[in-house]
Structure 1
Amino acid sequence: MPRKTGLGHQDFETVRLTNNFYVDKTDFIREWWEANDLVTLITRPRRFGKTLNMSMLEKFFSVKYAGRGELFEGLSIWWQEEYRNLQGTYPVMFLSFAAVKETTFDQVRKNICRMIGEFYNRCGFLLEGDLLNENEKRSFQNISADMEDNAAASSLRMLSEFLTRYYGKRVIILLDEYDTPMQEAYVNGYWEEMVSFIRALFNATFKTNPSLERAILTGITRISKESIFSDLNHLEVVTTTVEKYECFFGFTEEEVFAALEEFGLSAQKEEVKKWYDGFTFGNMTDIYNPWSVLNYLSKRRVELYWANTSSNSLAGDLIREGNKNLKLEFETLMRGGSILTVVDEQIVYSQLSMRKDAIWSFLLAAGYLKVEQTEFMEQSGNYQYRLSLTNREVRMMFQNMILDWFEGTDDYYNDFIKALLLGDVKAMNHYMNKVTLTTFSYFDTGKKASEAEPERFYHGFVLGLMVELSDRYILTSNRESGFGRYDVVLEPRKKEDDAMILEFKVQDTEDEKELKDTVKAALAQIKEKNYAASLLEKGVPRERIRSYGFAFQGKTVRIGTDGKE
């Protein structure tokens, strides 16, 4: 009989005692302990078992779980006597920033301080007797949600000192989802205050702390050293491209196929592989998304499980607000192609709105992209990575995200698509202007109307066409899209459908007095550049090829076709 597939359990003890489905990752304990690194930062995409592994470490090392060997019986770590003797022998401080998601710095600071205060409350036994002197007891009792910055910065170091004194052993510190408040700070505009607060806390806790035995931090991204790790020169960083611990987060293909057999789903191996495989950690390929696999075992159907959460909002914002070059490369990814880029695994959040390679680096760290190939560039000393979308689930997630960009248009977008398919130019003009009026600024990061970049909108609009019409058309776009021109070719999948060529052009007021002149220039561009050639070569009759010129002036659009407007 297969094990239970209770979803959402992140506590190791609960999983083990309730016979929930669990893949043995306890060799991680041995490898980490024998590596003997003082402070380790491990980055993996969300819901890849980081919290469960941290809970596993707590239950293994913490003195609170001394004599609880039954939690590890039958698992690989329990086969070695030296590790059986190690279980339950260290004071452990386990904290998580996963729920720190406030919109202001004051709120997030108070939340972290409150969390530390609650941990102090659980250690109230330290106040008993004369282990602490009167000054230390007062400092202990002053730890609260409203404590001063200097008290907050030294709070975890002070508590680890007290625990070391009590147990006679230095402390293991586990901090899960360390970067959640940093991402919230970036999104909500209080980055500098957050950096200053976290840097002081981390420096005192992980560097100038003689009571520290070992520490692990987990997160999605490696935030740049200059931001919060500037003083941690001894930090061992394990990103997704590093071989260390490569098989301990996520499920290997062997583990997934064994699970499918246990649940009588062996015939679905290829389907599960297509949807949820594709992650690469270090040199290990074919890593599966564990959250999606568990959901599949429970519900026995493919769906968007991992990708269907609000955690994708930052990824969507970066692409929607990105410039034309980023959106052109994203088109390639959505068509199933790959892009070549430099990757910097130290995420510099301030660069996300300015550098597309920083965005690709973030999306790789977050699990939306996978590495197909790596090439060392001797001249620059950097690596170039060939990246593609991770799997079908991620592609479907992005398709839904693109369609959501036009959700607020009150059906105008869908009406435009219908008018386009019917060739109704009058209706196309009406609905396209409604769409631009509603969503134009949504694609732009500019704070002033004068800073608006029309290309951000119509490159996003083309992505919408690609997704909306994917069942009927193959969309290709012209990569030489400078000077405000951008052509799109819609090649029909069925012979009965017309092919379409769309030329987008921003009005040049010096040469084009009215928008109708811009429309004419766009249509002339289609003829001069012979955009129909590729369609004719594929056997599409010339009379089945429609040409449309889209002329933009701010949020106003005028569309014409073959002399008609």
Structure 2
Amino acid sequence: MAKTIGIGIQDFEKIITRNVFYVDKTLFIKEWWESMDDVTLITRPRRFGKTLTMSMVEHFFSVEYAGSKLFENTNIWKDCACRTLQGTYPVISLSFADIKEVSYEQARKKICESIIDIYNKYAFLAEDDTLGEKEKTYYNALSSDSDDAAITISLRRMSEYLYRRYRKKAIILLDEYDTPMQEAYVNGYWEKLAAFTRSLFNATFKGNPYLERAIMTGITLVSRESIFSDLNNLEIITTTSNKYEDCFGFTEEEVFSALDEYCLSDKKEEVKDWYDGFIFGHKADIYNPWSIINFLDKQQFSPYWANTSSNSLAGKLIREGTKQVKDSFQQLLDGGSICTEIDEQIVYNQLNLDESAIWSLLLASGYLRVKNRRTEKTAYSGWRQVYELEITNYETKIMFRNMVKGWFASSASNYNDFIKGLLADDLKAMNAYMNRITKTTFSYFDSGNRPSEESEPERFYHGFVLGLMVTLEDRYIITSNRESGFGRYDVLMEPRNAQDAGIIMEFKVQDPEDEKTLADTVKAALQQIEDKEYTSVLEARGIPQSRIRKYGFAFRGKTVLIGSPLYSL
């Protein structure tokens, strides 16, 4: 009989004692221990078993669980040498997973509270002869209000205190180390938090004579210069590394075996389309565990993994990105791929300046996957690695579609009315509705760094194009900024059905020197459609000129005027 599915259990002891569905990953312990690495940093997308793995390691090594029978029926217990390690080390285990604060002061306080929890757990150290009187004073006085000097040295001191008690150096486990980093970037306090965590990590992980070994996990590899500048003992394992490639996530063999166990063998191909696509090291066909477990439980397809997070950072980077970022994103949503360089070290405070950094972060987060990679020779810098990226799977594509729809949620009624007006060729309605949309969502698409009347239209209309594509993808193939005739059109809508018209849109910001009114700007946009022969791509696909509509969009700040050759302005 198949085991009961337990949803959301990230505690190893609960998994084993409740005897729920579990894919045995205990051999990670053997592989990690035998590697002899001092400090190991492992990055994987969210919901890929990082927290459960850290719980497993803690239960295996911690003196608290000496003599535990939790591992008796697992793969690690078959190794006699590993058995002797169980329950033999003091373990310091903490997580930054829930540190998602909007200010530096709140984030620092929660980091401090997580350290105070460790001190409270081992409060008995200050109650006997393990510590001297001055050390007991420090121990008892430590709080979230302590100064940076006291806090940043606190984990190193705890390692020493535990060593005195157990005569063994400590294993330190830090789960989701980068969650505060992402929130710091989104909420604008990156520099302060980076300085604080740099001091904390240096004291804890470098030159700590009471550290046996450590594991850190996260989604991204924050750049070494930002918070790891002095850590030369760091073994970095990213999604492209071969180490531990099958220790996080489910392999296809594990997934298909589970489907057989739960009488779902006929769903293998659909499950593969929905949830496969992740690649770690050389290991392809990795599935995200969260979606698989939920599918086994509910036996219906849904974007389970994509719905477990607000995806706020991904949305921010794309929504506020440049025209090129939005063009590339549209290409991905349309089922295509993009080519870019990748830097696995994420420089958060450079994300708004470096397009490749955005794709690097989305790759690390699991939203994109590597379709292919190649080495190219460049004229100036020698050789470079170019990655061809695509959306990971169908589940992720649904997540992105819903994200785009959410951009227009505050003006959904106006937006939908604009779509109706566009399909009906109702220029009056299009103008009325478009001006309402710009007033409610225009600045939402600006980067926020230096908003300007000149830059906002570019960002807005590319976000608008993405919204069109998601809403009308069943009726139109929508592309933007592609070559046609003698130039690049802004928006082209190729009908999927013979009864629908083809549509060309050209967006133009008013140039006061050449165009006295918005009507002049509209005429210039329409003339560009004619001069550049943008309709040629539609004509080449069998759509006659009589069934092609042309619209010129003129912007002046948040004011819009839309015109067509069939209507006088």
TM-score, normalization by structure 2: 0.96
Please name the residue that 2:497 is paired with. 494
Q: Distance in 2 between matches of 1:116 and 1:77?
A: 30
1:6 equivalent in structure 2? 6
Q: How does 1:75-94 map to 2 (within 5 A)?
A: 75-94=74-93
Give the aligned partner of residue 432 of structure 2.
430
Corresponding residue number in structure 2 for 1:299: 298
- Whether 2:508 is the aligned partner of 1:505: answer yes
Equivalent-residue separation in structure 2 for 1:476 and 1:131 (angstroms): 69
Q: How far did residue 128 of structure 1 move?
A: 3.4
**1:478: Cα distance to partner?**
2.9
Q: Which residue does the alignment assign to 1:210?
A: 209
Give the secondary-structure state (helix, strand or coil) at the position aligned to 1:308: helix
How far has the Cα of 1:352 moved from its partner?
0.7
Q: Which amino acid letter does the alignment assign opposite residue 398 of structure 2?
A: M
Contact residue 41 and residue 237 of structure 1 kept, 8 A: yes
SS in 1 for 2:442: helix
The aligned runs of 1:43-82 (5 Å cut-off) are 43-68=43-68, 70-82=69-81
Match of 2:409 in 1: 407
SS at match of 1:22: coil
Is the 8 Å Cα contact of residues 477 and 486 (structure 1) preserved in structure 2?
A: yes
How many angstroms apart in 2 are the aligned matches of 1:538 and 1:341?
A: 30
Distance 1:378 1:544 in 2: 46
Give SS of 1:86's match.
Answer: coil
Please tell me whether the aligned partners of residues 291 and 304 of structure 2 are also in contact (alpha carbons under 8 angstroms).
Answer: yes
Flag structure 2 segments of 5+ consecutive residues without an equivalent.
none
Distance in 2, Cα, partners of 1:132 & 1:469 = 69
Structure 1, 363-372 or 527-536: larger mean CA deviation: 527-536
For residues 432-511 of structure 1, the aligned pairs below 5 Å read: 432-446=434-448, 447-450=450-453, 452-479=455-482, 486-511=489-514
Q: C-alpha offsets along residues 354-405 of structure 1, whole Å, 9 cap, x if unaligned? A: 1111111111111111011122335434321111111111111111111111
- Alpha-carbon distance in structure 1 between the residues aligned to 2:236 and 2:560: 50
CA contact (8 A) 1:485 1:505 kept: no
Residue-by-residue CA offset, 1:257-289 (whole Å, 9 max, x unaligned) = 111111111111111111111111111111111
Could you state the TM-score of these two structures normalised by the residue count of structure 1? 0.97
Q: Is 1:42 aligned with 2:45?
A: no
> 1:304-319 residue pairs with structure 2 within 5 A?
304-319=303-318
Contact 2:28 2:247 (C-alpha < 8 Å) held by counterparts: yes
Q: Which runs of 5+ in 1 are unaligned?
A: none
In the TM superposition, residue 418 of structure 1 has moved relative to its aligned partner by 0.6
Distance 1:149 1:478 in 2: 51
Shift of 1:151: 0.8
Q: Is the 8 A contact 1:323 1:456 kept in 2?
A: yes
Residues 1:550 and 2:553 are matched in the alignment: yes
Q: Larger deviation: 248-257 or 542-551?
A: 542-551
Question: In the superposition, relative to structure 1, how do residues 448 and 387 fare at CA in structure 2: closer, same or farther (>3 Å)?
Answer: closer
Asked if structure 2 preserves the Cα contact closer than 8 Å seen for 1:62 and 1:91, the reply is yes
Residue 391 in structure 1 maps to residue 393 in structure 2: yes
Distance 1:189 1:429 in 2: 36
Give the alignment partner of residue 530 of structure 2, picking from 523, 527, 542: 527
Query: Residue by residue, what CA displacement relative to the aligned partner does 1:511-538 show, whole Å, maximum 9, x if unpaired?
Result: 2211112212222222222222222222
CA–CA separation in structure 2 for the residues paired with 1:467 and 1:511? 35
Superimposed CA distance per residue, residues 390-442 of structure 1 (whole angstroms, 9 cap, x where no aligned partner): 11111111111111111111510000001101111111111011111111111
Instruction: Tell me the distance in 2 between the aligned counterparts of 1:271 and 1:313.
Output: 28
1:357 corresponding residue in structure 2: 356
> Which of 537, 540, 553 lines up with 2:540 in the alignment?
537
Between the aligned residues of both structures, percent identity stands at 62
Q: Distance in 2 between the 1:261 and 1:106 partners?
A: 51
Aligned partner of 1:225 in structure 2 is 224
Of 550-559 and 355-364, more deviation after overlay is shown by 550-559
Specify the SS of the correspondent of 2:273: helix
Q: Match of 1:27?
A: 27
Query: 1:507, 1:552 within 8 Å by CA — same for their partners in 2?
Result: yes
Rounded to whole Å, the distance in 2 between the matches of 1:530 and 1:111 is 59
Task: Determine which of 413, 423, 436 is the counterpart of 1:421.
Answer: 423
Shift of 1:311: 3.5
Report Cα offsets for 1:282-316 as digits up to 9, x if no partner: 11111111111111111111112111144401100
* CA drift at 1:479: 3.3
Aligned residues, how many?
Answer: 562
Amino acid at match of 1:16: I
